[in-house]
Amino acid sequence: MFEGIDRSGKSTQAKRLAEWSEGACFMAFPNRSTRIASMIDSYLKSSLNLDDNSVHLLFVANRWECRAEIMDWIMGGKNVVLDRYSYSGVAYSAAKGMDMEWCKGPEKGLPKPDKVFYLDCPPEIARQRAEYGEERYEKFEFQQKVSKAYELILKDLDNVIQIDANQPQDEIFSLILQEFNSIDTTEPLKNLW
């Protein structure tokens, strides 16, 4: 599972890992192919305004509506690669000033990833990357807050691999592969928080 601020390179690396891992299943969040995601998409493109609590719960609902498919993949022995997940939802909502523990609440019960690859990219670097600023949250000051929220969330996790996202893409991918290949698939599935 890949996390990081906007334009940190997580989508590139997540897709690359999914392609590399034979038979892997890939999903990006928000999953814009669902019914709930049409509202999220409108919100992210700033064509719809919603209360912050409602937005958080929409993002959570999007993950819950995809849970059965993810569980089917896991139970079928597939590697599952996710581009963003619950940690993003909590980080982005906390960056708006929302209570982090409240944000975690509706995420409880979703499957916990074996590994979280956090692509650590300073907001100063991310804002220089292509297509920055096209969506609602791609604002420098807000991304600084998201980065701080991630720091708080990730310090309490036991499954995080923090990677410097300023390295060449191939070096980043090499580090990801080392960690990916060390995943113990015999461990029982756990739930978030």
Q: Measuring CA to CA, how many Å separate 113 from each of 2, 84, 131, 163, 180?
A: 10, 11, 29, 17, 12
- Average per-residue pLDDT for the chain: 93
Model pTM score: 0.92
Given a cut of 90, whether residue 91 has pLDDT beyond it is yes
The fraction of the chain above a pLDDT of 90, given in percent, is 79
pLDDT 10s digits, 17-39: 999 999 999 999 999 889 898 89
Q: Which is higher by pLDDT, 18 or 127?
A: 18
**Residues in the chain, total:** 193
What mean pLDDT do residues 170-183 have?
A: 96
CB 189 within 8 A of CB 74: yes
pLDDT > 70 in the chain, percent: 98
Yes or no: say if 32 and 135 are a contact pair by the CB < 8 Å rule: no
What domains can be seen in the chain, in order of their start residue? 2-180 (3.40.50.300)
Going 12 to 140 to 56 to 32, the CA torsion angle's sign is negative
Axis crossing angle, helix 52-75 with helix 35-44, rounded to the nearest 10: 130
Between CA 107 and CA 93 the distance in angstroms is: 13
- The answer on pLDDT for 135 being more than 80 is no
CA distance 36 to 112: 22
